[in-house]
Structure 1
Amino acid sequence: AGPLRGIVANDVQAYDMVAYASIRGGIDGVYLQAFGQNPDNWIKWSPVTYARQSSGFPPFLVMYSRSHRPRRAIVSVAFARELRRRGTNVTLFDGSRYTHGSIARGIGDSAEVTRALDNFLRRAYR
């Protein structure tokens, strides 16, 4: 199968659960079910923790929508910054014209969203 050539992170909020909880004033719903109430677990299970501690990640396309603004943009841009700081090639897609649902549905339907994904995959698979 070979090495992982790239990662598409489509409108994720769970990059840094401590930041997410701080911005939001806590966690509930699906995030509470997945991450629980213990902040130590939030740190342990947040991708940003590993971005801060390691390097050598494949290229990332980090896409974010306007849903729950400005939270999605804040956590997405901060995660991208950490990856870049460790030498990872990161492409940010500012999907602030889209909602969480429409950015996902836009893949294949929206020229802008599809172009961002196509360009990223083309670079990753050169």
Structure 2
Amino acid sequence: MEFSMPWHALIGGLLLGLSAGILMLFNGKVAGISGIIGGLFSPKKDDWAWRLMFVIGMIVSIAFTAPIGFQLPDLSSMDIAVVAVAGLLVGIGTRLGNGCTSGHGIIGMGRFSKRSIVATCTFMAVAILVVFIRKSLGAL
């Protein structure tokens, strides 16, 4: 995939911000994916329907974006055990960090939450470090 202009990233960011803003404006809820999915497993009264609809919307969105050129990453060449362990580690990290990149990075930083700014800076620093280590080991 060529990356001459980040149009997909720009459009994706705009759509994420728009969906998070709409959810906050009309429902008073934070669009933190880990919290939304976690709430499905321990629902409060009358709190599961919007969460389920949000998750379904994320899943079926590919049907609307595929015709205009968006694709899901191809994971067929990856070891499923590595993908599962990575997903588990991300889940543990979201619990330790009291939220995920969508909750802290989009909503929290937009509200100037100090905790979210620290969490997002930590996410980014660790991501940069992991990419650096992976690229360095890949060069060996």
Q: Same fold (TM over 0.5)?
A: no
Higher strand share: 1
Relative to the length of structure 1, the TM-score reads 0.32
TM-score under structure 2 normalisation? 0.30
Q: Which has the higher contact order (CA 8 A, sep 6+)?
A: 1
